Structure 1
């Protein structure tokens, strides 16, 4: 099956039960999205998707978290596990994909999507906002143990993305350091963290953040 964009999703700030501040985690399918480099996490534009909102810019958004991609196949897996329908955008993703193993992507891998060029930067780390939004028991732990988080992407060439656009992997570094491995390093695997730091494959901001955990 060819890899395609199944849905493009965006959202405004909304109140999530159990949270004090509004969040932009509730994404809904839209006809098209325009993506661009939002600049740094602090002081930048927030989301890489024009019109998409982020509640906490301290922890989310910025160049290396400009666009979030998640596979429809993984949503279907979780729907079966928790016994409820999960619509496109339910995990807060901007791109719901089909036919692409998002979690097999290597850090630094580049995708041609519609008019755009996107680069894989790292995993989504589950947080309290995600847990409250899902409303499932022990959600952060369950999501973490599964270890397939989808991928945050940087925008290297801006443009428009629409449902049905093909996704072509145009560059794969070949170092074998995938998004799930980076997630394990983020979650405390010190040996893996050192592997990533020695390999110097991470974007600068992610490299510095991982080094700060030593």
Structure 2
């Protein structure tokens, strides 16, 4: 187990981005005081595109301070909520965070299920038409989490990181296969032994069933 800190809790409301028609909740802003995390996410946080965001397997989006520190070397000036994340934490990073790892924060316990996949809304938020490609290339996606134990969290809370004891499939490992259909069979089999999100579980199980 390792320890970190909850740097920020960020909540969004339905807004329009410049030159982007759909309403979105990607503009997250840090809030003070205790905030309740429920099974479906942070209380009063706007999630508009529920086809691709939210749900039990993607209830909370966590980004890592270590990864934000790297972005500062790439000309990005990070601020909590910039990438549309709900929580910013220290003590972990995309390259070392695996499916099934758990974050105990305040009264809440979260479990990593998948990585963040960049979309056109994210590109519009960043004001960069090449942002999707750039974010993929950086391979520092942050982590989606399900909520194992609802509870209140507050910026400044300690974060206890409990590694998943089984196969180590990191969010960076998964993101590396976003742009290809050639996912190694062994990788899919290993991933299926973890508590990966159900959408990807179904995808991998279907591919393997079609091959054998």
Indicate whether the TM-score tops 0.5.
Answer: yes
Q: Distance in 2 between matches of 1:145 and 1:91?
A: 16
* 1:36 Cα offset (Å): 1.2
- Tell me whether 59-68 or 183-192 shows the greater mean CA deviation: 183-192
Question: Structure 1: which 5+ runs fail to align?
Answer: 39-47
Which residue does the alignment assign to 1:204? Answer: 198
Question: Structure 2: which 5+ runs fail to align?
Answer: none
Q: Aligned match of 2:171 in 169, 173, 179?
A: 179
Q: Distance in 1 between matches of 2:73 and 2:86?
A: 22
Q: Is the 8 A contact 1:103 1:149 kept in 2?
A: no
Q: Distance in 1 between matches of 2:137 and 2:50?
A: 26
Secondary structure of the residue aligned to 1:119 is strand
How many residues are matched?
203
Q: Is the 8 A contact 1:72 1:88 kept in 2?
A: no
Q: Is the 8 A contact 2:35 2:42 kept in 1?
A: yes
- Aligned pairs for 1:1-214 within 5 A: 2-31=3-32, 32-38=34-40, 48-82=41-75, 84-188=76-180, 190-192=182-184, 194-199=185-190, 200=192, 201=194, 202-211=196-205
Q: Distance in 1 between matches of 2:69 and 2:161?
A: 23
Secondary structure of the residue aligned to 2:16 is coil
Q: Distance in 1 between matches of 2:96 and 2:4?
A: 13
Q: Give 1 or 2: higher strand fraction.
A: 2
Q: Is the 8 A contact 1:4 1:165 kept in 2?
A: yes
